[in-house]
Structure 1
Amino acid sequence: MIKQDANEILMSEGSERLREMFDEMMMDCDADPDQSRDDETVHEGAERKAPRLQTICLRQFARLKLPPRKMILDPILPQKGLGMLFAGRGIGKTHTALGMAYAVSCGGEFLRWHAEKPRNVLYVDGEMPQQALQERLSALMDASEKQPEDGAFRLLCMDRQELGFSLNLANPKHQGFLDRHLEDVAFLVLDNLSTLMNGGPENDAESWVSMQEWLLQLRRRDITVLLVHHAARNGNARGTSKREDVLDTVIKLKHPDDYDPSEGARFEVHLEKARGIFGEKALGFEARLVQTEGGASAWVCRDLGEEDEEELDQMLTLSQEGKSVREIAEMMGKSKSVVGRRLKEARKLNKE
């Protein structure tokens, strides 16, 4: 169709003909959806076309050969997963988030979680001075048996950006700024929501909508996301509970009841939401940062409520006598996983 000025058509042929020509043009666009045009509009000023939603029959869906969902950090974060880690001030949020990110970047272990293979990580920090961040990451590297490949662990620190710029991930434009750095990223850590999202009051569910839409788009791109957040005075995650609706995993850190500040980093780990995690893997535990006999730092974990020294000494004695993990478990009435885990923690401290 030869394009003519709408006013000329209206004057020469009338409004009815103008309406017919417009309808024909829209039908042509529907018939050829692959013609060169903007993804969102047919032409400037046209209304956005309704999406073509896809449905599938139950029987057909049940027969689909879908690939198994792999784990980014087993057992807590699946591929294409969305998770949140929250805690009060000074408990260990950033320690934990950095440890998780580092393990993913080099295919290593952190606390009771492990990454089966290395994946690219982008860690976005909105709060810490870069000197403090460097100190923590250097300690992680010194204590780890594995190192990430060059470029596998990348940092976007607000302390390194232009003076006056603040990243606001409630703003779709700023989401686009970050999207440019996610091409090869499998694991994105956002530390933390209070500093990286300024779209409205934290308890306002509506202010979360734009962020949630973006997170779901990242999931479709096979990107796993960990949100780091503060706890409120009541111990729950600060702000609207609507955030947790789309999350696979919600991890809460808290100090034990008998915690003393002189102990440094010591906290309990609880899974507040654990989609697809069952049995012992879903149980809480205590983590503590200690100095080994060699002077390095190491995280040791124990089950909540378990008696430490006497029981551990018995396990170590039996192990030194040549008993297997299975034999020790049967003799002490424990599961093999508990015995194996505690012996492993003892080796970290060079107690064996």
Structure 2
Amino acid sequence: MQANIRPINHLWTHDDMTLRPRKQPPPPSQMCITLGQFLEKTLPQSTSLLGDLILAGSVGMLVAPRGCGKSLLAMTIGYAIAGAKLLEPWGIGSGAEVCLIDGEMREQGLQTRFRLLNAKNTKPNSVMRAGQNFHIISRDAAGDPIGSIDTLEGQEAFDEIIPYSAKLIIIDNLSALTTSGREDAASFALIKQWIIRKRLSGVAVLLVHHTGKSGAQRGTSVHEDLLDYSIQLSPREEPGKTAFTLRHTKLRDHLPELKGDFDGAFWTADDMLHFRIEAAEKSVRPEDEKILALRQQGLTQQKIADAVGLSKSMVQRRLKDITAMPRPDQDGAETED
């Protein structure tokens, strides 16, 4: 057996060539305690992987329509953690080990993206850390389907490959790494148990998933039961860039600095992948004119959302902002080119 590998054996774990018994569950008398006992427990501080959002053992989901930049953002999040880089609006990565499980990209395309991402990093120490701490499991690179995370056999196959030292596992994406194509509660049950086992071992999981026509994550809401946070991207027009509006649609912890919308964009220039994200301003955006025109025609918010490629909730927010902001013909202000 290789070192630093989680084996499929349920009785033993393997770390640095040392076999040791897997932690057994506590007796029933310790599994149900009183409130007084619970309040007296000394608990370890949460271990940050990326700011206060991604913690050791946390579970998150990144959802977006196709072509909106969700895989690029997932890679960037993983790279920031592995390379101990600052990534707004979340904070500084811890330098922990990350494992990306990619289920859909060609090996050449994946390598190109990582080369562009790595080229933007100007700090040699961070480049070195990312190179050592970011692990990639790619079906195309391996030349093998490996398995699917909605079967026990597939989970065991991935558990044999995932480095034991990885503190974050990125699943990109949920549809590509499952077998049936169904997205109901029953088909997610095995995945849910696998995620729970990761959480109990202190490993964080980030699921990348597609949105449906409504703009929300596709499939059953059971997907959201375990989530500590959920990040939703909605497409935004910005010429020559993969632009989006980012919103944290679920935050289990109190993180007021992450409330509200953020405008982000990826673009390639000078053989580097550039990324910018900032708090969304209440200003006119390219899609606003179309949203307002369709609303004046009497279309429902859902039909407007379908027409412009945004979620219904995003259209609702844009309409609220459009009607609240002063128009140029009202106060004589000039608009920026």
Alignment TM-score > 0.5, same fold: yes
Is residue 179 of structure 1 aligned with residue 159 of structure 2? yes
Equivalent of residue 288 in structure 1, options 235, 250, 265: 265
Is residue 222 of structure 1 aligned with residue 198 of structure 2? no
Number of residue pairs the alignment of both structures matches: 255
**Equivalences for residues 111-126 of structure 1 within 5 A:** 111-126=88-103
Is residue 98 of structure 1 aligned with residue 79 of structure 2? no
Query: Residue 284 of structure 1 contacts residue 304 of structure 1 at CA under 8 Å; is this kept in 2?
Result: yes
RMSD: 2.3
Give the Cα separation in 2 of the matches to 1:295 and 1:199: 39
Which residue of 1 is the match for residue 332 of structure 2?
Answer: none
Is residue 169 of structure 1 aligned with residue 146 of structure 2? no
Which residue of 2 is the match for residue 313 of structure 1?
Answer: none
Query: Residue 74 of structure 2 contacts residue 208 of structure 2 at CA under 8 Å; is this kept in 1?
Result: yes
Which residue of 2 is the match for residue 328 of structure 1?
Answer: none
Which residue of 2 is the match for residue 81 of structure 1?
Answer: 58
SS of equivalent to 1:246: coil
Give the Cα separation in 2 of the matches to 1:172 and 1:113: 34
| Post-superposition offset of 1:307 | 5.3
SS of equivalent to 1:213: helix
Which residue of 2 is the match for residue 346 of structure 1?
Answer: none
Shift in alpha-carbon separation, 1:72–1:56, aligned structure 2, 3 A:
same
Query: Residue 117 of structure 2 contacts residue 272 of structure 2 at CA under 8 Å; is this kept in 1?
Result: no
Amino acid corresponding to residue 188 of structure 2 in structure 1? W
Q: Which has the higher contact order (CA 8 A, sep 6+)?
A: 2
Shift in alpha-carbon separation, 1:78–1:70, aligned structure 2, 3 A:
same
Which deviates more from structure 2 when the two are superposed, residues 146-155 or residues 265-274?
Answer: 146-155
SS of equivalent to 1:168: coil
Is residue 255 of structure 1 aligned with residue 231 of structure 2? no
Which deviates more from structure 2 when the two are superposed, residues 152-161 or residues 183-192?
Answer: 152-161
Is residue 301 of structure 1 aligned with residue 282 of structure 2? no
| Post-superposition offset of 1:199 | 4.3
Which residue of 2 is the match for residue 159 of structure 1?
Answer: 140
Give the Cα separation in 1 of the matches to 2:272 and 2:176: 32
| Post-superposition offset of 1:154 | 0.9
Amino acid corresponding to residue 167 of structure 1 in structure 2? G
Query: Residue 82 of structure 2 contacts residue 93 of structure 2 at CA under 8 Å; is this kept in 1?
Result: no
Equivalent of residue 234 in structure 1, options 214, 218, 221: 214
Amino acid corresponding to residue 299 of structure 1 in structure 2? F
Structure 1 residue runs of 4 or more that deviate by more than 6 Å after TM superposition: none
In structure 2, runs of 5+ residues without a counterpart are 1-9, 12-24, 285-337
Give the Cα separation in 2 of the matches to 1:89 and 1:69: 34
Query: Residue 78 of structure 1 contacts residue 224 of structure 1 at CA under 8 Å; is this kept in 2?
Result: yes
| Post-superposition offset of 1:290 | 4.9
**Cα distance per residue 1:309-334 (max 9 Å; x no partner):** xxxxxxxxxxxxxxxxxxxxxxxxxx
Give the Cα separation in 2 of the matches to 1:290 and 1:168: 32
Amino acid corresponding to residue 161 of structure 1 in structure 2? A
Is residue 194 of structure 1 aligned with residue 175 of structure 2? yes
Which residue of 1 is the match for residue 246 of structure 2?
Answer: 269
Give the Cα separation in 1 of the matches to 2:203 and 2:172: 16
**Cα distance per residue 1:217-236 (max 9 Å; x no partner):** 00011100000011111111
Query: Residue 97 of structure 2 contacts residue 168 of structure 2 at CA under 8 Å; is this kept in 1?
Result: yes
- Structure ranking higher in strand proportion: 2
Which residue of 1 is the match for residue 323 of structure 2?
Answer: none
In structure 1, runs of 5+ residues without a counterpart are 1-37, 40-49, 309-352
Equivalent of residue 129 in structure 1, options 106, 115, 118: 106
Which residue of 1 is the match for residue 312 of structure 2?
Answer: none
**Cα distance per residue 1:175-211 (max 9 Å; x no partner):** 1111122411101001001110124611x21111111
Query: Residue 252 of structure 1 contacts residue 270 of structure 1 at CA under 8 Å; is this kept in 2?
Result: yes
Amino acid corresponding to residue 112 of structure 2 in structure 1? E
| Post-superposition offset of 1:295 | 7.4
Give the Cα separation in 1 of the matches to 2:168 and 2:252: 18
Which residue of 1 is the match for residue 186 of structure 2?
Answer: 206
Amino acid corresponding to residue 190 of structure 2 in structure 1? S
Give the Cα separation in 2 of the matches to 1:305 and 1:223: 36
Per the normalisation by structure 2, the TM-score is 0.70
Which residue of 2 is the match for residue 6 of structure 1?
Answer: none
Query: Residue 75 of structure 1 contacts residue 281 of structure 1 at CA under 8 Å; is this kept in 2?
Result: no
Which deviates more from structure 2 when the two are superposed, residues 223-232 or residues 54-63?
Answer: 54-63
